[in-house]
Each structure stands twice: as C-alpha cells, then as structure tokens.
Structure 1
C-alpha cells in the first residue's frame, strides 16, 4: 500500500518560540538589573553595606569651665575612666556583666542597676555600667575585651568642683539626666539620650546649661558581624561649652564661708559702681561633687532634714522680714513726700498707741524726742510707726521698689526671689481684705508682710551709697568676651534726702550709742555706714510683755529672731555694699554686724586685714578668731549637734 505524503511538519513550534523569547527577555532583564546594581546604583548599595559595618556615635562635648573674676577654677572637668555596654551586641548581658564583675569593683546592686538601665533603653544604646575607675581596673577591661562582647572601655570627662561647698549655691551642680528632665523639653538634644549624661541641676550650671553644654561631636567606628568594635574610622570633635568668668572673688568668698561657719546665714557683697557681686555666700553649704554621679539616699535625706537648710540658696531665694534695715526706705519715702523734715522730732515713750492697741518700741522705756538721725542711730521703732502712718504704704512701696526691694533682679540663677513689698491693692488681690493702719505701722519697721532677700538688701545699700539705680550682675565674661554692665542712672531724689539718711547710717556704726558702734572700723579711711535689723519670727503676747519678754538665748534656736545688717564703705566714697542675714541669730548688732564688718574689711583690703583696722580693745579677740578660722578644717555641711548661741540685741 502506498504511503500518503504531505507538507513537512515545522521544526520549531510557535510555543517554542514564545518560550525562547521569554527566556531571552529574562536574561536581558537580569543583565540590565545587574548592570544597574553594579554600575548605576553601586554607590547607594555601598553606603547601605557601610551602614551595617559602620556605627556612628555621639561624642559628648567638653563642658565649659566656670572661674572667678581672677581665673580661679570653680567648676572644671576631670578624666573619667568608664565602661559602656551595648545590649544587642552583648547578646547575653547577664553573662557579660558576671565576667565584668570579676575584673572591676561591681557589687550586686551595681549589676542590677546596669541591667535595669539597659532594658529601659533601646538595645543599640550604649549604657554606662561603671565609671570613675582606677587605671588598673580600666586596663583589665581593655585587655579582656575579646571575652566581653558589647563592652567598650572609654575615657570621658566628668564635672568637678575644686572649691567644694564654697560655690555650691552659686555655680550649682550637674547630675545625670533624668526622665523628668527629658519631659520638660519639647525637642531634647540627642545628647540628653545618652545614659548618665550630665546636665545642670541648680545654680549657674542650670541657668546657663545651653551655653555650658556645647555641641556634640561624632565618631565613626567599624564593627564586625558580631557587633564588636574593630577600629575608629573617623572623629569629628564637637564644640566645647563656653567658658564663663564670674564677678565673684574667690579669696573673699572663701573667707566669708569660713566667717559664717556654725550659722544658718547668708551674705552678699556688691560693687556699688558697676553692680559686680563679689561674694554670695550661704551657710551651711554642701559638697556639689556628691551630686555629679548621683547622691546616695542617705546623704540626700541628711541634707533635707538639716534644720539649717544647707540646700537653700539663701542669698537670692530667701525671704526675710527686713526689720529695722527697712527704716531707711520709710525715712526716704517720708522725706521725698515732704511729710517730715530732717529736724522734725517724734516723742517715743516706748510704744505707739493706735486705738486700744499698742505698738511697742524695742526699748521698753522709750527714746524720748528723736529726729531722723537719732531714729536710725538708736533704731527707734516709734519714730517709724509715726512717719509710716503719715506717708502711707503706697509711697513706701514706691520708694522700696526704687531701692531694689520687691523687685526680681535679673541674675542667671534659678529661684531669684521678688520678695514682697505690700500695697493696698496687693492685700485686696491676695488676701481679699482691706488695708489697715496697723498693717502700715508693721511695715514701717520692716515687719508684717514685708519680705526681702539678702541680695535685695545689698542692692538697697548699694543704691543708698551710690545714689544710683545700680543693678547686680554675676557674669563677668563669656569665652573671653566681657559682658558689659549697664550704666547706672541717678535715683533723682529730692535734695537732702540721701545725705540725711547717710548721716544716720554713719552714726549707727561710728558714734557712741549707735546700735553697731561695737562693730565699727577703726581705720578712718575705711569707715563703714550701716544699719542693724532684728526681725521677729514669733508673736509676743501681752502676758509675756507684762512678765518680761523672753530673751532670745532662752528660746529654742528656731524661735529666735533673725539678725540683719546692711552697710556700705568707705562712708565718704562708697565702693562696696554688704548685707548679712543670720537666721535666728538673735540681734543684728551682736550676730550680723560683726560678720559684716569683718567681710567688708576683707573686701576693702583685698586680702589679709591688719589688726589696726579694728578697735584697739577687740584686736586680741580678732587675732584669735582668725587663727581659729585658719586652723579649722573646711567643712561643707553644718554639724547638726551645734546650734548658734547669739545674745539678744543690745
């Protein structure tokens, strides 16, 4: 049978061609993609690979230094040998910490704190697990680094206060950043996320934090696949914080702190020409170095429970009834308003009668007829009850403000007090009560609602001494650039007002019978004009007055009167003003005036004071006092078993 023939079958089918085309297209696509990856996007993927190999870390900047006016260091930075750990690189943090504890001092509490901190932070954040190490321990960690994954020994800086407690209330201190600190900021600096990074907590350290902190630097480090640091590739130093020079003088500040030892007290010394604060001392103090790495609960509790209040910045935030130091304000307000003349007298029988109430003078038998000069010299209360009633509280408040009281002075310190100089409007707004004449009488002797800080009292004395509206300042220069002081303007008072008050203040310190005559300066070229003050902290009942007012030394310490003194010197050409407040000191003439005289002499002489500057009868006592001060070790906290024993005002 014959085989049937036809057209030959195609050698390549259509399906085969489609498959072949798809394969060629896939190969072409892969080739194009490979070219794109290797040529066009090579830089992009090289950077991605680098990110897996290179870690960028912040370098904390060097904090700015703080010095006194002569360049003496108040706050500096010391080398800090520490160990940091990254949790994700350690893989087993507990095991690594166990190994670390065999190399450096680390107890169970330290270990638990480190673990807690690591698990609170992101896994990639370095956490400081030990610091302030000895070189021997630091080198052990470095030598054993291969057995400590995620652990890096680092050399950093930590804040240090070489003068201890002398400037604790001025410079303040730094401490580790807390969660509360971070919550106060809308856009916190990334530096603050570094565990245990230090920021200012109080004083200038806090107020000038932005300037003192500086700007962070960065470093690039190479890590291997296990996250171990292999080498540092690049370092960009940050910008150090600004170095800040203060107006304070260390010799004077240190002397004042020694002179205040044993008291709960404050003193401020101010240059009346430009407002420079040369001394701002508060006693007792504390060692700010205790706070740098975090103070222990035991020490913190001891500071809080100390009735002498070592943590309080008494010079700027303390509010005290100014007592008789306020009498210059009342006198100037009355003279300026024309309601009293310089020679006008007021009769003092020992009290002032207002209706059926008596307002007592400190001298039970009274002072008899007194004019302005003697009213200040003898500190007659009745004189000021009388003229305060005549001039009225609103004019008194106006004069107080002109002299720097009831005003918040612009200083770069936290909690600067405005104090309180009341007015009729103030009482209506804050007490929902009308003003009473009795309120005016109490204010006339610096009691009642009136409150002032030692800083404000020093400003008042400076303005009386200079006749200008000089304002306080405490920063002298920043990074070597002087901070200019504003030019003081005249107080523009009526003729004779200042000279009348100055004459009275001169008599207080330099005429027999003056309440501060016992604390006078014997050197005529340096004679001091001042005013004592004593402010009550308790009510004296009518029954107690009949029986006899209890002497301060017979009262518990915390119920004794506050002692105050303000002054300027030299009297004939004022250069410096001072205020001293001794809490529960008993009386301005015996507790505050001697301190003010000694600190003022140190200021005037710029160092050691010759005994000839003191009254002849006091020189042996003064010599012994200074020998004891020089021999005594410096302490930063009060002795809780030692309470001041100051007799009442003369």
Structure 2
C-alpha cells in the first residue's frame, strides 16, 4: 500500500502535472526582456531627414531573483570606469527597479570596452551588450520649435507602462515629436533568454521582433526653413510661409532658437539657467504661441467687414487731416500732416489710420470680430500641433462680462489693430491666405505617413463677395507696387512675379496723450520699447501660390517686408516647389 501510494504520487507529479511543473521550471530558467523599438523618422516633403536616429552600443544588466547587483557592479567597474553620477543613478535604480527590466550600466561603449566585456562575460552574470538609439536633428536650431524634441518619460507614465521604463526610451516633448508621439514610437519586441543558475545568459530561446515607428513626412521644405532662419538672423520674431493652394506649411520658424539635442539626456543646469534668464525667451515658439497686436495688418479684415455690411462702398471716402477727435480725446494718424481724401484701396495703400477710425466706428467690434473669425484670426488653428495659442478679438459680449465700458474710442483703436486684439503669426498667415484665395484654407504640417499621402484640401469658398475681395487685393497690391505704398522699398520682381501685402507696426507700450501730441520718434526709444514690425503678403499677384506672415519684434517698418520678399523669391524660383 505504501509503494502504491508513492507510485501514484509519482505518476501524478510526472504525468498529470507535468505541463504545470515544466512551465514553472522553464520560468525559473528563462527571462523575458522587452526590446524598445527604433523611433520613426521625421522628414521634410522631399525626404530630407529632420529627425533621425544614431545607433549606440551600451552595457545592460538583467536583474533576476539571484542577481547580486552590487557585486556585479563592482566587477564591472574594475573593467570599465563609471562616473560618480552614474554610480548615484545606479544606486537609486537598484532600490526600486522591477526585476524583469534591464538596467543601463553605461551608454555609448567603444569597441575596446565591448571587447573587454565579452572577454569577462563569465564573471559578469546578467551583463549584456545591446544597441540603442539616440535622436539626432540634422538641421539643428532651424527646426527646433517645429520638429520639437524627445525627453525621458515622466515617472508616473513609466510606472504605468514597463516599456517606457526601459533604458534609452524617449517620448515626444514638444512640436511634431509630441503631437505624433504614438505614430513615431513604434511597437516593442520581446526576447526570451535562457539563463543558468548564476544568471548568465546561455542562449536566446525566442524573439518577437520590435516594429520601428512610422516615418512622418512634413509639408516643410528644408531649404525654405533654413532660408527663413537665415533671414531672421537671430532677431526675435517669427515667420510662417504657407502654400496658398492647399494650406501646406512650407516654413515655420521662431527666433531665437535653441539646441534641442540637450533634452535627450537632460538639459544641464547651466544651460537651463541661461535659457531661463535670456530676455528673448528662446524656448517660446513665437509662430504658434506668440501673441502680438496685429497693428495695420488687421486693416484688410476691417475693410472686408465694412464692405460686407455695407458700412462703406469701394468709393466711400473720408478726409484725413492727420487727426480725429473722438469724445474728449484726439486720435492721430501716423502721418501727422494728413493723407487727404482716402477710399478703402488708397487707405490700405498708405495705411491711413484716420480712415480706419471712421470705418471701425461704423462697423462696430462685433462685425470686425465676426470677419476675423471667418478669416482664421480667432481661436487656435485646426492644425495637428501641440500648444497652439488662439488669436483673440474683443466683442461686446466679452466687454459686458468684464464690466468694461466700451467707448467709440476703444472701437476706433481696434480698427487699426491695437487695443485688446492679439494674434499669432500663424493666425495672420491663415488670414492673408484666405484673403488671397477667397477660400477657407486650413494649415497642414503632415504631408505623408509611411509614404501614404495625407490629402490636403483647398477649402470651400468663403462667404465673401468677389468685388469686396477685389477692393482689398487692389489696396494690398498698391501697398507694395506703387511709390506711395508703405512697402514700396521692399517690392518683389522675380521673373515678372510680384507680391501684394500689408505692413503693420504695433506699439508695445502705452502712449500717453503728451507723447502722441508731441509726435515722438519711437526709433529713439530703447530697443525693447520700440514697436513690433509686421507684414502679411502673398505672391504671385495673379495666381497666389504662397502666403507669408512675418513678425520682427522692435524692428523697422521694412524689415519684415524684405524678409517676405526674400522668401517669395526663394520659393518662386524653386523647381521642386513649383512642381
């Protein structure tokens, strides 16, 4: 009976429960290692790499229940030296690391270091050599704000997802890298390893290959992006160029810029301190987050609002004597001697403030805001990009909610793009694109994903009469191409192609009545108190292909005009873009 019981128990263990104990024994002798995927590429529309990867060899430690991590680390250091920072980092990791996740001992191994590790492998159980990737940005600062950068995952995210806790894994921290992180990230793989009783890897039992992230081709043109940054030449400001036919963003730069490669392994303290103390704020993306008073670049919007609601006609004229009294305050034109009789086209041409004081009071802020909304000036643009600031134009409802007494003087100031109105350079680029085409153009930054084109739509027709658009376009043409125009000194002539546009200057300080009455020279103010210079334009005149908005902080009137001219010249002579 005793032997029968023993025999039965042996049969139960070795036959009936064989699958269970086989799995348990296998689990005791194997480790599963997650393999992070290679991040997808980001390119321009022609395939020029804007964000790529560089392979790096590194030493990793696979922890297990029997791994004596401090002893292995001590042996490792006898072969390859570690910095004090590395030792501190590893000490923290050993205390809280999950056993199935590998630990990075040292990154970017040399061939000599890899050879020494291979020779000493028997005395380093659990230590393996594998390859990882570091992010590289070939255009550097020229694409820092738009392409963005990668960062180590937050601790909370890494705790929730073991893949994010792997050494070297990075996630998008800004720009396209952040907006399309899931597409770029890829799918991790799994490698099943057989280990001996000391934790040393004996062989690879199986592997599920990782899948690299997808390649995203942006609508940007690398040549135009570089040209835009060269034109700004470090001056604080922003430039956006769009394809007026379909909304493809060809260039989007903010200056000054920064070196985004620092974020991969953590920005050094001295670099971060320098960025934080820089009064020009290099980390701020002025194209999508910079909110500026539009100044006279808002006047085409005011003119269209007035024409549509029949507050004026194309032939309506107002006399500019250089000033206009509204209530008990005098409002001045930039030309104190006055422009004389002005209609809509000539008022745009010479940027007559008095004309637009009259027009704004006839139209009212609600109708100006409604037209601004239709032209893409209100709210954040519908574009696949993170942290988009939204343009703002005041309304009667907004003023009433804040208990703000709204006067005719406030309305007049809104008519020349001052007061409470603030817009981003991207908002302004959308506006001038819609004025140029009469269509609801929407900006797009992604052109294709893994060679699958993203369809760019031209947009439906705006609810604007062609005769009203013609008046505004005529005025914008005369701004650049007639001697009395405010942009005459920066006109374009490339193979017979010309541009149209509108200049603008916007005060950054509140002017006192005494300053206005004295007709002070703002060019003699300290640099940071001088007005911002703006320009919006499109080219060619007859069949607009490109639209540009430029903001140069505290710049001269023609600075943004010449920047736009040079961008149009480059774009219109590019065979690739014309194709």
Deviations 1:179-198 (A, max 9, x none): 25558xxxx44311224421
Q: How much does 1:74 deviate?
A: 0.8
Question: In structure 2, what is the Cα distance between the partners aligned to 1:196 and 1:120?
Answer: 18
1:512 alignment partner, SS class: coil
Counterpart of 2:474 (choices 495, 499, 503) is: 503
Equivalent residue number for residue 58 of structure 1: 34
Equivalent residue number for residue 3 of structure 1: none
Q: How much does 1:148 deviate?
A: 2.9
Question: In structure 2, what is the Cα distance between the partners aligned to 1:410 and 1:219?
Answer: 42
Q: How much does 1:150 deviate?
A: 3.5
Counterpart of 1:556 (choices 480, 503, 526) is: 526
Deviations 1:84-131 (A, max 9, x none): 224557855445434434444522122112222332323443221321
Q: Does 1:252 align with 2:252?
A: no
Q: 1:267 to 1:44 in 2, by over 3 A?
A: same
Q: How much does 1:237 deviate?
A: 0.6
Question: In structure 2, what is the Cα distance between the partners aligned to 1:446 and 1:181?
Answer: 44
Question: In structure 1, what is the Cα distance between the partners aligned to 2:154 and 2:105?
Answer: 16
Equivalent residue number for residue 594 of structure 1: 562
CA contact (8 A) 2:494 2:569 kept: no
2:145 alignment partner, SS class: coil
Counterpart of 1:576 (choices 540, 546, 553) is: 546
CA contact (8 A) 1:93 1:115 kept: no
Normalised to the residue count of structure 1, the TM-score between the two structures is 0.85
Q: Does 1:305 align with 2:281?
A: no
Q: Does 1:314 align with 2:286?
A: yes
Q: Does 1:535 align with 2:506?
A: yes
Q: 1:192 to 1:398 in 2, by over 3 A?
A: same
Deviations 1:516-547 (A, max 9, x none): 11000133631000110111110111233344
Equivalent residue number for residue 641 of structure 1: none
Counterpart of 1:458 (choices 429, 437, 451) is: 429
Q: Does 1:438 align with 2:414?
A: no
Equivalent residue number for residue 380 of structure 2: 408
Q: How much does 1:413 deviate?
A: 1.3
Equivalent residue number for residue 82 of structure 2: 106
Q: How much does 1:169 deviate?
A: 1.1
Question: In structure 2, what is the Cα distance between the partners aligned to 1:344 and 1:175?
Answer: 58
Aligned pairs (5 A) from 1:223-234: 223-234=195-206
Equivalent residue number for residue 348 of structure 2: 376
Aligned pairs (5 A) from 1:608-647: none
Equivalent residue number for residue 445 of structure 2: 474
Normalised to the residue count of structure 2, the TM-score between the two structures is 0.95
Q: How many residues align?
A: 577
Question: In structure 1, what is the Cα distance between the partners aligned to 2:113 and 2:200?
Answer: 21
Question: In structure 2, what is the Cα distance between the partners aligned to 1:535 and 1:405?
Answer: 17
CA contact (8 A) 1:90 1:149 kept: no
Q: 1:90 to 1:357 in 2, by over 3 A?
A: farther
Question: In structure 1, what is the Cα distance between the partners aligned to 2:124 and 2:455?
Answer: 54
**Which runs of 5 or more residues in structure 2 are unaligned?**
none
Q: Does 1:605 align with 2:548?
A: no
Q: 1:548 to 1:421 in 2, by over 3 A?
A: closer
Equivalent residue number for residue 247 of structure 2: 275
Equivalent residue number for residue 73 of structure 2: 97
1:353 alignment partner, SS class: strand
1:44 alignment partner, SS class: helix
CA contact (8 A) 1:318 1:454 kept: yes
1:525 alignment partner, SS class: coil
Q: How much does 1:438 deviate?
A: 2.5
CA contact (8 A) 2:124 2:200 kept: no
Deviations 1:338-375 (A, max 9, x none): 01111211111222211111222222222222111111
Q: Does 1:490 align with 2:466?
A: no
1:169 alignment partner, SS class: helix
1:192 alignment partner, SS class: helix
CA RMSD of aligned residues (A): 2.0
Q: 1:604 to 1:132 in 2, by over 3 A?
A: same
CA contact (8 A) 1:87 1:118 kept: no
Equivalent residue number for residue 102 of structure 2: 126
Aligned pairs (5 A) from 1:210-359: 210-359=182-331
Equivalent residue number for residue 93 of structure 2: 117
1:168 alignment partner, SS class: helix
Q: How much does 1:568 deviate?
A: 0.3
Equivalent residue number for residue 16 of structure 2: 40
Equivalent residue number for residue 13 of structure 1: none
**Which runs of 5 or more residues in structure 1 are unaligned?**
1-23, 609-650
